[in-house]
């Protein structure tokens, strides 16, 4: 059972998809401008704060969501009231796709970092599917991407020692562009992502810091990817 209920956002801001700076990489890339202009009035854009919720597990699925900026965590709850973070939804990712099958949402979607999110009603997506084959193909690609990510979390972050799991998580979160930076998560959230206790997560982070694989600066981690890769493969 859930211990707390995150705050739900009042959706009100209408998006202007034609001005979206991420148009080339978000869900509607490739859709004709004339078609997009006919449906964008039904698409809401919202700036959301950490702790707010896009939707709750069991709610009727009436919309899908695409993240323009920030980070959203998908949470399921254990019989003892604990929580497990089963996936992170990042910039350009889509979540709530089960709504397209007429199913209720399967997770709580909670903002982990301040975010900009667009809500797209299911009836709008179905209308677009009839007029835009590109959208259908892109939806299927995003769905497969979400399944692959869920499989990766299960295999990479749900097996091995606590030390290996923390190292693998940091590798997935760190910036591969070369600076090795990743955002700092609470030890509770890290434990919920990895299926380990908060104490174990805290202990492993301290151990990796002592080993030089990890340093903490101004609320962010700096990762030594080579060292973390070695630990993850032990």
Per-residue pLDDT of 168-208, as tens digits, reads 988 888 865 567 777 767 888 889 888 899 999 999 999 99
- Report residue 4 CA to chain centroid gap: 20
Tokens of 191: 């434990």
| DSSP-assigned letters across all residues of 67-88 | EEEEEEEEEEE-TTS-EEEEEE
Residues forming CATH 1.10.10.10 domain(s) in the chain: 162-232
* CA–CA distances in Å: residue 8 to residues 12, 46, 57: 13, 12, 12
Contacts of 132 (CB under 8 A, 6+ apart): 31, 32, 35
34: pLDDT confidence band, cut at 50, 70 and 90? low
Pick 162-232's CATH classification: 1.10.10.10, 3.30.499.10, 3.40.50.300, 3.10.310.50: 1.10.10.10
Query: Tens digits of per-residue pLDDT, 52-83?
Result: 999 999 999 999 998 988 889 999 888 877 78
pLDDT at 62: 93
Please tell us whether the domain made up of 7-132 is placed in CATH 2.60.120.260.
no
* CA–CA separation, 21 and 163 (whole Å): 39
138: closest CA among 191, 64, 77?
64
With beta carbons less than 8 A apart as the criterion, state whether 150 and 172 touch. Answer: no
* CA–CA separation, 118 and 93 (whole Å): 11
Residues forming CATH 2.60.120.10 domain(s) in the chain: 7-132
């Amino acid at each position: 059972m859930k211990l707390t209920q995150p705050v739900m956002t009042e959706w009100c801001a209408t998006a202007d998809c034609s001005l979206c700076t991420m148009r080339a990489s978000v869900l509607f890339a490739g859709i004709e401008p004339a078609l997009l202009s006919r449906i964008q009035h039904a698409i809401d854009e919202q700036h959301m704060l950490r702790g707010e919720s896009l939707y709750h597990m069991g709610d009727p699925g009436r919309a899908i969501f695409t993240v323009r900026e920030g980070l959203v965590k998908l949470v399921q709850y254990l019989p003892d009231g604990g929580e497990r973070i089963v996936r992170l939804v990042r910039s350009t990712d889509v979540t709530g796709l089960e709504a397209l099958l007429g199913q209720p949402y399967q997770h709580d979607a909670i903002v982990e970092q301040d975010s900009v999110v667009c809500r797209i009603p299911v009836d709008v997506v179905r209308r677009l599917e009839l007029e835009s084959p590109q959208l259908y193909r892109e939806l299927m690609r995003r769905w497969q991407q979400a399944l692959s990510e869920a499989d990766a979390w299960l295999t990479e972050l749900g097996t091995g020692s606590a030390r290996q799991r923390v190292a693998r998580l940091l590798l997935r979160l760190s910036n591969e562009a070369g600076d090795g930076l990743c955002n700092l998560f609470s030890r509770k959230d890290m434990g919920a992502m990895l299926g380990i206790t908060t104490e174990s997560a805290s202990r492993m982070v301290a151990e990796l810091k002592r080993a030089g694989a990890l340093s903490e600066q101004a609320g962010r981690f700096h990762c030594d990817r080579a060292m973390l890769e070695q630990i993850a493969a032990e």
